[in-house]
Amino acid sequence: MRVPISWLREYAAIPADDAAITERLAMLGFPVAEAESRPTLSGVVTGRIVGLEKHPNADRLQVGRVDVGAGEPLTIATAATNVAEGQVIAVATVGAQLPALRIERRTMRGVVSHGMMISAEELALPAEWFEDGILQLDQTTPLGADVVELFGLASDVLDVEITANRPDATSVVGLARELAASYGVPLHLPRLRDSYDEPEPTGEAPRVALQSTDCHRFVAQRFDGLHVRPSPAWMRIRLALAGQRPINNAVDVSNYVMLETGQPLHFYDASRIRGGTLTVRSAHEGEKIVTLDGAARSLSPLSLVIADDREPLCLAGLMGSASSEVTHSTSAIVVEAANFSGARIRRMSGALGLRTEASARHEKSPAPALTNFGAARAAQLLTEIGAIAYPPRAFGAEIATSPPVRLPLRDVERLLGLTIERERIARHLAALGCTVEPAGGDALAVTAPAWRRDLGIAADLIEEIARIEGYDTIEAVEPSVPPHHISSAAFDRERALAHALEGLGYREIVTHSLCGSAESDVAVEVRNPLSEEHRFLRASLVPGILDYFAANGEVRVFEIGEVFRRENEDVGERTALGFGFLSHRDAARPWKDDAFLRLRGDCETLLRRVTGRAMDASPGDGRHFHPGKRARLTIDGRDVGELGCIDPRTSRALGLTENAYVCLIDVGALPPYATPLYRPPSRFPSTYRDVALVVRADVSARDVERAVAAAAGPSCTGVRAFDEYRGPQVGAGQKSLAVRVTLQRFDTTITDEEADAAVAAILAALGERFGATIRT
């Protein structure tokens, strides 16, 4: 909300400069998004044109004599055409500083001009919102007054952010009240018209029919004898400073009161209300309205309207119709100060794509009591411009006073950690409009003011006390946290994985959880995506990692994040880990892939470090992978993930010139850490034998290793296949495999005879099991 500080100061003598007020508002919970400082202006005074004649030497100039309250009238030449004798205007005197120029005595075609008659633009007001030419002031304006001071043109204009719970503070009076309470100065409310002792006018008073429970209260008041014309200068300038374009003296009152009190108003041309009754109801399907902005809108029952006997005259809380607009020929109006359901207005506003200053206020569900305040203020201002007021009529709910809230004083200290005297607490609350009474024991009974709906419990009041006392008066202390049994295991596990991968030379990335393609028929779809590229939740980390490779080339990366799939009507979610790298394509040996083995090595190291256990790999079936280069990973027989070379068709489609190798771990499936136990080494030396065999190509190295270990007997401490060869020397469908067997005993040194016997047993077993032959 745009708030000129000069307007705030009208209601409270705030003993602080603009910068301090800006800071204080933030510390009261009303941060200032922008403080707009006004340009330096000086030497501009009010004056009356007491004489005007044509310039003797220039057709387009006139020479005026302007009475500025003291001394001889000033002779001032002007090129403006809207000047006339008797007008009260703003005059920049010699020495005046305007935004773009400094005023000097000046000879214009032989006439010495002692100043300049000025327009709104020279006062740094939006020129297009004011009359062409010289700014016209009211006849009642004192002459010789400083214009900058008179109209508050020097103070900053603040763009204040107001939280959703404070519709009452979405107003100049509301913010002034906060500042008055904070600085401990009295608040002076604007004049209201709330008594009607003269005889009532004889015309027809407005009738209102509430046909929707979404209109809680409707204050209607008729005014006759209105002369629609421009508002007085002070109001036009103030509205312009607050960012509202002045329109005419009726519409301006409506906007002024909304800004001042927070209560949106709507003015109807009384002559356009056919039948004389305003009905608040839901729109009929397909009903039409042309709103003030010129848009023709087709309505649905979602919209709440205020209608006469024939058609809607207003979209409740949003905007009126062009047909019932106040125009220059209007002489009687009906003022609406209504309270609607904030939720209804919000839905309407969303559905119609129409958001106004009024709807923004209604959406926050201001207190119904505000209707009386707004109506009475409008009545005052309309009376001041000569309108004849009928007494207001209220429809709907009466203003209910909220029950007092019991505020135990120990709770103030318990929640804030701040000791504040009882009297001080009472004073803070009273300054905000609360009624404070003793409530037995060490407690107060606090009744919230009618305009506040957010003070329903003790904690709400405690926040008010803290705000006025100042959050910065609360001392920062470290709590001593009592012991508890909440586990950090899941976080620790993720952290261990991340750091182990960091150690293995992988960089962590974060990619988008939302992607553009469904990927699988169990993909979870977002109902209200921001764009097509972010319509689905990822079911796997693979596409994100591949996209990263495509964008960034050769890097070793990992990501830990949630992946999703539809499970019946529910959303299934798991924590996944993916890591991998790119490696060049090697077509020379289709039966061997070192990149795959490096990835598996990293995975084994990772899982051993994190789980303390050995991982096992066997041929897999993961859908992302090359059909001949993929493995499923298990620990203690349970699936924990998969790895392999990404299907080269996928890589090529992404424009990758290398193959991608990716390992995927289901983090939740990893078993808890198993602490390894130390086994002292044998004191006796070990020995080894290398065995070279020829087996069928489809016999896996792991099966050979296991068979070797089983056949070698209890002194076998290690078996490892270390070389593989396929080619003409071993024949089609066969492969040569070299296996090293390590033998060691704890009680004595292995003899050559024992080692040879073990090899013989191994060869016999392999021959029987796989038809293996010794390679010669």
- Site residues for other proteins, window 472-491 (CB under 8 A)? 472, 474-479, 481-488, 490-491
Nearest to 422 by CA among 413, 409, 437, 407: 409
Nearest to 223 by CA among 332, 328, 325: 332
Q: How far is the CB of 286 from other proteins (least distance, A)?
A: 26
**3-class secondary structure for 639-665?**
EEEEEEEECHHHHHHCCCCCEEEEEEE
Q: Does the footprint of other proteins cover residue 528 (CB under 8 A)? A: yes
How far is the C-alpha of 650 from the C-alpha of 656, rounded, in Å?
9
Q: How far is the CB of 130 from other proteins (least distance, A)?
A: 30
Q: Does the footprint of other proteins cover residue 548 (CB under 8 A)? A: yes
Helix extents (H) in 72-230: 147-150, 172-183
Q: Does the footprint of other proteins cover residue 104 (CB under 8 A)? A: no
Instruction: For residue 408, give Cα distances in angstroms to 417, 418, 435, 446, 726.
Output: 14, 14, 15, 10, 87
Tokens 């490779």 sit on residue: 549
- Count of residues near other proteins by CB under 8 A: 86
Taking CB under 8 A as the binding criterion, the range among 252-260, 434-442, 544-552, 657-665 that sits at the site for other proteins is 544-552
Q: Does the footprint of other proteins cover residue 562 (CB under 8 A)? A: yes
How many other C-beta atoms are found inside a 10 Å radius of the C-beta of residue 589? 12
Among 529, 590, 628, 731, binds other proteins (CB under 8 A): 529
How many other C-beta atoms are found inside a 10 Å radius of the C-beta of residue 29? 17
Q: 166 or 193, CB closer to other proteins?
A: 166
Q: Does the footprint of other proteins cover residue 718 (CB under 8 A)? A: no
The SS3 call for residue 537 is: strand
Q: Which of residues 634-653 bind other proteins (CB under 8 A)?
A: none
Among 59, 398, 570, 747, binds other proteins (CB under 8 A): 570
Among 2, 106, 355, 556, binds other proteins (CB under 8 A): 556
Q: Which of residues 448-467 bind other proteins (CB under 8 A)?
A: 457, 459-460, 462-463, 466-467
How far is the C-alpha of 589 from the C-alpha of 294, rounded, in Å?
75
Q: Are the C-beta atoms of 544 and 538 separated by less than 8 Å? A: yes
Nearest to 236 by CA among 76, 19, 90, 68: 90
Q: Which of residues 20-49 bind other proteins (CB under 8 A)?
A: 26-29, 31
Q: Does the footprint of other proteins cover residue 378 (CB under 8 A)? A: no
Q: How far is the CB of 408 from other proteins (least distance, A)?
A: 9
Q: 65 or 538, CB closer to other proteins?
A: 538
How far is the C-alpha of 55 from the C-alpha of 387, rounded, in Å?
42
How many other C-beta atoms are found inside a 10 Å radius of the C-beta of residue 531? 8
Taking CB under 8 A as the binding criterion, the range among 71-79, 101-109, 413-421, 611-619 that sits at the site for other proteins is 413-421
How far is the C-alpha of 635 from the C-alpha of 669, rounded, in Å?
9
Among 52, 290, 420, 504, binds other proteins (CB under 8 A): 504
Q: What is the CA radius of gyration of the chain?
A: 42
Nearest to 174 by CA among 397, 418, 394, 3: 3
Q: Which of residues 137-176 bind other proteins (CB under 8 A)?
A: 163-166
Q: Does the footprint of other proteins cover residue 398 (CB under 8 A)? A: no
Nearest to 631 by CA among 582, 597, 590: 597
Among 527, 649, 679, 683, binds other proteins (CB under 8 A): 527
Q: Does the footprint of other proteins cover residue 525 (CB under 8 A)? A: yes
Q: Are the C-beta atoms of 219 and 394 separated by less than 8 Å? A: yes
Q: Does the footprint of other proteins cover residue 362 (CB under 8 A)? A: no
Output the six-digit token pair for 410: 């120990």
Q: 408 or 767, CB closer to other proteins?
A: 408
Q: 498 or 765, CB closer to other proteins?
A: 498
Q: How far is the CB of 469 from other proteins (least distance, A)?
A: 11
Taking CB under 8 A as the binding criterion, the range among 86-94, 338-346, 692-700, 718-726 that sits at the site for other proteins is 338-346
Q: Does the footprint of other proteins cover residue 573 (CB under 8 A)? A: yes
Q: Does the footprint of other proteins cover residue 370 (CB under 8 A)? A: no
